[in-house]
């Protein structure tokens, strides 16, 4: 029996997250069906995390056991000939028998994209969070510093999670701004797009933790939460005092650390 580790990239728009569900199409289900066609086995795939409906992945890691003898480096080619266009196998390798994509992970990195302009994008509506009101990026950067380090992030976890230990260590949290400029036509040199990119890496994340931290940074940036209140919100652990849960479509799982 071989244990194979597979890295995926997927667009989560058409899926109800990673985890297999009885009444909805998920990435796990589609992948397992494709693997069955190749190996002729009933494959059960273990994912590194449970991404939500509409969330994307640039480097999702999973593993599965097989008795098949297809070379690991050829498996992505076989999979990509079967998988739909919005799921791509990037690489595959044989790993230790006891490797577990979720339990062996030492940390993860996420990216969140905010389109900060008056009108939404016709093309990127499934890949960014559209926020039409002005955001003070300097305040967002100042607020981000309070989240770095080991804290109890209970205030940044959605209800419904059974996790008892809510302490996590955030290694890094950055907020950057990218401006796209039109260089042709009658709107020459007009600034059209203000995209804010938030990246966060940690040893682990609670349910919706990234999206709630992003929502809190947004609230700081437009004055709904005071910058100096962030340490108290973290310390008190009251979800009601943090910001909104930002929409899923702006979120990307970038990398898993092992």
Question: For the chain, which residues make up each domain, given as ranges?
Answer: 2-94, 107-257
Query: Does the structure show a pLDDT above 80 at 128?
Result: yes
The answer to whether the 2-94 and 107-257 domains have the same CATH topology is yes
The whole-chain average pLDDT of the chain stands at 94
Q: Are 155 and 232 in contact (CB under 8 A)?
A: no
DSSP string computed for 104-142: T--EEEEEEEEE-SSS--SSSTTTSEE--S---HHHHHH
Q: What is the pLDDT of residue 160?
A: 79
In the annotation, is 52 catalytic?
yes
| Range 2-94 has CATH code 3.30.70.580 | yes
As a whole number, mean pLDDT of residues 158-166 equals 88
- Model confidence over 183-223: pLDDT tens digits? 555 555 455 568 999 999 999 999 999 999 999 999 999 99
Query: What number does CATH give the domain 107-257?
Result: 3.30.70.660
Catalytic residue among 22, 42, 52, 172: 52
Q: Residue 33: how many CB atoms within 10 A of its CB?
A: 12
| pLDDT band at 38; cut points 50, 70, 90 | very high
Q: Residue 213: how many CB atoms within 10 A of its CB?
A: 28
As a whole number, mean pLDDT of residues 173-188 equals 70
| CA pair distance 49, 182, nearest whole angstrom | 39
208 Rama class: left (phi>0) / alpha (psi -120 to 50) / beta: left
Which residue from 126, 108, 130 is spatially nearest to 12, judged by alpha carbons?
Answer: 126
Which residue from 140, 235, 121, 253 is spatially nearest to 196, judged by alpha carbons?
Answer: 140
3-state secondary structure string across 167-183: EEEEEEEEEEEEEEECC
Which residue from 203, 223, 225 is spatially nearest to 213, judged by alpha carbons?
Answer: 225
The reply to whether the predicted model has a pTM over 0.75 is yes
φ, ψ at 6 (rounded to 5°): -125, 135
Query: Does the structure show a pLDDT above 90 at 19?
Result: yes
């Amino acid at each position: 029996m071989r244990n194979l580790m597979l890295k995926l990239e997927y667009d989560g728009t058409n899926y109800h997250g990673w985890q297999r569900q009885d009444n909805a199409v998920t990435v796990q289900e589609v992948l397992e069906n494709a693997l069955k066609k190749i190996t002729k086995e009933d494959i059960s795939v273990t994912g590194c995390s449970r991404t939500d409906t509409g969330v994307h992945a640039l480097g999702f890691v999973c593993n599965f056991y097989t008795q098949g003898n297809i070379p690991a480096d050829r498996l992505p080619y076989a999979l990509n000939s079967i998988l739909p266009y919005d799921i791509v196998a990037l690489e595959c390798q044989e790993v230790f028998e006891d490797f577990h994509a979720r339990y062996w992970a030492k940390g993860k990195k996420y990216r969140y994209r905010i389109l900060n302009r008056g009108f939404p994008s016709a093309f990127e509506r499934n890949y960014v969070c559209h926020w039409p009101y002005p955001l003070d990026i300097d305040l967002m950067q100042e607020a981000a510093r309070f989240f770095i380090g080991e804290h109890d992030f209970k205030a940044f976890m959605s209800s419904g999670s059974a996790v008892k230990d809510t302490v996590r260590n955030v290694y890094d949290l950055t907020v950057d701004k990218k401006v796209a400029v039109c260089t042709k036509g009658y709107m020459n040199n007009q600034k059209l797009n203000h995209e804010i990119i938030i990246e966060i890496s940690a040893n682990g994340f609670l349910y919706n933790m990234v999206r709630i931290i992003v929502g809190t940074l947004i609230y700081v940036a437009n004055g709904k939460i005071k910058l100096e209140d962030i340490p108290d919100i973290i310390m008190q652990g009251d979800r009601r005092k943090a910001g909104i849960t930002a929409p899923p479509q702006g979120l990307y799982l970038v990398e898993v650390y092992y």
